[in-house]
A and B are shown apart, each in its own frame.
Chain A
C-alpha cells in the first residue's frame, strides 16, 4: 500500500476502531448470540430456544400485530397530513414562515419523557383536557389507558404529532425543488390548481414521499418510547406492546440476550422487507 494511503488510514484508525468495537462487533456478536440459549449459564448452542421459539411465541405475534397495526394506520395518515401541512407551509399567503416551520419541527427536538408526560396529562381519564373537552361537547369520556383500542389510538396520535412536522419539512423541501415556472406554464394552459396538484405536484413529490414512508416504516418498526412511557410499558395488558418494547422486555428485563438478538434480527429483516416493498410500489415507472 502506498505511504499516503497508510497515513490516511492512520488518521482514520481511531474512528475505525471505535466503529468496529461498538457498532460492527455487536452486530456480528448478536447474530451469533441469536443461536444461543441464554436463559441460564452456561450459554449453549440451541436455536430452538430462539429462532424456533419466535415462530411459536404468541407474545411475539401480539407485538408484531400491534406494530403492523400502527404501521398500517399511522404511517399513511401521517404522510398524508405531512403533505397537506407542507403545501400549507409553502403557501405564499403564510406569514411568520420561519416561526411556523420551527413550531412544526419542534416536537422532534423535545425530549421524549417530557412529551410523554404532557400526553399522559392531556389524556388523563379524570382531569385531562381531552376528556374534559369531549364531555363539554356532550360526548362520553374515554378511558385512554385502560381501553385497548383507545390506548392504541393514543399511541398513533402521539407518534403522528411527534413526527408529522419533521416529515412536512422533508416534503416541503421537495415541494420547493419543483420549479415555479412549471406551475406558471400549467396556469397558462388552463390547468386548475387541483389538477396541478394531482398531475404535477404529487408525481414530482413521489421520490420524497417514498423516502418519508421508508423512514417512517423503520421508525415504527423500532417504536419504543411511546408505548413504554405513555401507555405504561405497552398496556393495557400488552395491547400496545410493540416489537421494540418486546425486544426490550426480553433483552433487558428477562436478560434473555439470545432470544432478544433473534427478535432484533427479525425486526431488521421486516423493516428491510417492508421498505423494499414501499420502494417497489413507489418506483419510477417512466
Chain B
C-alpha cells in the first residue's frame, strides 16, 4: 500500500480547464472520497491518478514515485469502473485472472489470488459464469475482485455503485467499507452521491468546477462547512438557506433578522460582530429547528415524509428549495400551520461571497 500525493495538478481539454490546481495528500491506508456535482472534475482527477488521462501540469506521486510519465499498468493502481468493464467473453475466473495471465504471473500464484479474492467477495459459486449471467451487484463484485487480485498499491473506484438499485447500493457500500477495513488498502472513491461519501469516507474531498472546495472528515464537513456550497452539497435532506441582515451582537452570538420571515431572528455563535446591516446568508440543517419559540416564524406544511425514525416536513414546496424541517415524532403534520424557530447557536453564517463567517 502507498500514499498518493497530488501537487498543483491541472487538466485542460483545449481551452477548457477541468482541474484548476488540485493539492491533496492521501495517507497510506486511507479511504478518500471525491464528491461533487457532475462535471466538477472528480472522475478526471481519478483518471489522472490512474494514468488514463494526461496531466497538463503539476505532478502526482504514488508512494515515493512520481508517476506523471509512468504507464497506467505500471503505477500499481487498480480501478473499478461504473460500467464494471468486465471482459464479456470471459468467465468470472478468467476475468479476475486475465491481467495476471497476460503478464506471465505464475499459474499457482494466480490461482491462489483468484481463490482468495473469490472467497472474500463470496464469488466462489460464480467462478464459471459469464458476466451476462450475473446480476449488477455480482458483476461489480467481480470487478472489485479483479482489482484485488492485482494486489495494487492503490484502489480507484469510479462511481462503482451508480448502476445499482438503491438496496444493492447500500449492501455494496457496506461491503466496500468492510473490504477497506480487511485489506487496509489505500482507496480513492469517486461519487456524486453525498450519502455514499458520508458513509464510506475517512476524508471527503468536495470538488466544484475543477477546484477542491474543502477536505475533511464527513462530520467535519457536515458541522463545519467552509462555504455555502459545501454546506449545501453535504447533508441529506439539504440544508435550508435564508437571507438575512446582521443586527446586534451579544455574548458571542450574532443576531440576524431573517428577510421575508416576519420578526424571525437567528442567533448564531460567531467570534466577532458583523457591522449592523450586513447582508448575509444563514444555513440551518433540518434538525436544527424547534417548534414554537419566541423568535420563530410561521410555516404551512405541504408534504410530510415519514421515515419511521424521523419525519421531514416540507414547506414552501413551490420554490426551488423547499424549507425542510426534521421532527422526531410520528404525528401527521400534513397541512399543519406551525411556528418554528432556529435553535440558538446551531445556524451557520455565510458572507455574500459564500464563504463561512465564523
Contacts and interface: CB of A to CB of B under 8 A. Distances in A.
Interface string A193-210: 001000110011000000
Interface string B81-120: 1010111110100000011001100000000000000000
Interface residues of B, number: 25
Contacts of B35: none
Q: Which 3 A-B pairs have the closest CB atoms?
A: A189-B99, A190-B73, A181-B85
Contact of B79 (A188, A195, A203, A286): A188
A179 interface: yes
B72 A187 contact: yes
B159 to A, nearest CB: 12
| SS of A interface (majority) | helix
A67 B107 CA distance: 48
B126 to A, nearest CB: 15
A253 interface: no
B254 to A, nearest CB: 51
B264 interface: no
A190 B83 contact: no
B63 to A, nearest CB: 17
B81 A185 contact: yes
Nearest to A178: B88
Given A199-B98, A286-B130, A187 B52 contact: yes
A182 interface: yes
| SS of B interface (majority) | loop
Interface string B55-87: 000000000000000011110011101010111
B77 A188 contact: yes
Nearest to B88: A204
Given A185-B81, A190-B102, 17 more contacts: A179-B83, A179-B85, A184-B52, A184-B81, A184-B85, A185-B79, A185-B85, A185-B87, A188-B77, A189-B98, A189-B146, A190-B74, A191-B98, A191-B99, A195-B102, A199-B102, A203-B89
A182 B85 contact: yes
B150 interface: yes
Contacts of A186: 87, 98-99
B50 interface: yes
Q: Which of B72, B130, B146 has the most CB of A within 10 A?
A: B72
A191 B102 contact: yes
Given A199-B102, A203-B89, A204-B89, A188 B73 contact: yes
Interface in A182-236: 182, 184-192, 195, 199-200, 203-204
Contacts of A189: 73, 78, 98-99, 102-103, 146, 150
Contacts of A200: 87
A251 B88 CA distance: 50
Nearest to B77: A188
Nearest to A202: B89
Interface string A43-75: 000000000000000000000000000000000
Nearest to A190: B73
Contacts of B130: 286
B87 A190 contact: no
Interface string B18-53: 000000000000000000000000000000001110
Contacts of B72: 187-188
Contact of B89 (A181, A185, A190, A286): A286
29 contacts: A179-B83, A179-B85, A181-B83, A182-B87, A184-B52, A184-B79, A185-B81, A185-B86, A185-B146, A186-B98, A187-B72, A187-B73, A188-B50, A188-B52, A188-B79, A189-B73, A189-B78, A189-B102, A189-B146, A190-B71, A190-B73, A190-B74, A190-B99, A190-B103, A191-B73, A191-B102, A191-B103, A203-B89, A286-B130
Contacts of A187: 52, 72-73
Nearest to A180: B85
Contacts of B51: 188
A180 to B, nearest CB: 9
Nearest to B158: A181
Contacts of A190: 71, 73-74, 99, 102-103
A175 B41 CA distance: 29
Contacts of B81: 181, 184-185
A45 B50 CA distance: 77
A188 B102 contact: no
A262 B103 CA distance: 57
Contacts of A204: 88-89
A187 B50 CA distance: 10
A217 B338 CA distance: 80
A184 B146 CA distance: 13
A233 to B, nearest CB: 47
Contacts of B50: 188
